[in-house]
Amino acid sequence: AQTVTQSQPEMSVQEAETVTLSCTYDTSESDYYLFWYKQPPSRQMILVIRQEAYKQQNATENRFSVNFQKAAKSFSLKISDSQLGDAAMYFCAYRSARGSQGNLIFGKGTKLSVKP
Amino acid sequence: EPEVTQTPSHQVTQMGQEVILRCVPISNHLYFYWYRQILGQKVEFLVSFYNNEISEKSEIFDDQFSVERPDGSNFTLKIRSTKLEDSAMYFCASPSQLYRTDTQYFGPGTRLTVL
């Protein structure tokens, strides 16, 4: 079974600085998707970024980028120019590409605080 | 971001009562998922639903849970006899594109409190 591990329960960053959140996963599959979701205090789950395992190029979305290391099974999220609104729980998630109905497997999350 | 809607936003019920949580996925999509998040814990998969049938379910999704599609656009999650440990946020999720199912977008969630 696949597992997702986020080893940093909490992280803190100064406004305008850069922070990296770590995620590792375990799978025997070669084709899959990886995601980062943001959960603000409202508890809504908001998609931040996604990565297809077959793509070597790291995904980027504005201030958010990932460092995808397939061999190491690592998928970290980098937030540049951190803003107060980035404060939230961040969840890393895995989805198998086998079939079309795969559910998401989540890590336990990292709580990010942004200091003004 | 595509919109998934859920009602109610907050439901309070007494232990042993039945609750029905509702969701409207992204328009016309046949795939649909329910997840649960107990306060302070990670999000856990409950069940996936495709074309009016359950396609996968987790061990959490026992006989007290059921999912239905009562009409063309609405989906429901029913908990027959609620327990204290059912208190959680319940999310539905849906892919955004009819023929591309890899990315799931979440509704705002229903916060269920069992007293």
Distance from CA of B48 to the nearest CA of A (A): 7
Task: Flag if B109 and A43 touch (Cβ within 8 Å).
Answer: yes
pLDDT in tens, A18-55: 999 999 999 999 999 999 999 999 999 999 999 999 99
What does the alpha-carbon distance between residue B75 and residue B70 come to, in Å, rounded to a whole number?
7
pLDDT value, residue A75 = 97
> Residue range A73-87: average pLDDT?
97
- The answer to whether residue B11 scores a pLDDT higher than 90 is yes
Alpha-carbon torsion (A101, B73, A44, B111), positive or negative: negative
Could you identify the residue written with the tokens 């100064």? A14
Region of A16 please: left (phi>0), alpha (psi -120 to 50) or beta: left
- Give residue-wise pLDDT tens across range B58-97: 999 999 999 988 887 788 999 999 999 999 999 999 887 6
A91: nearest CB among B42, B48, B104: B42
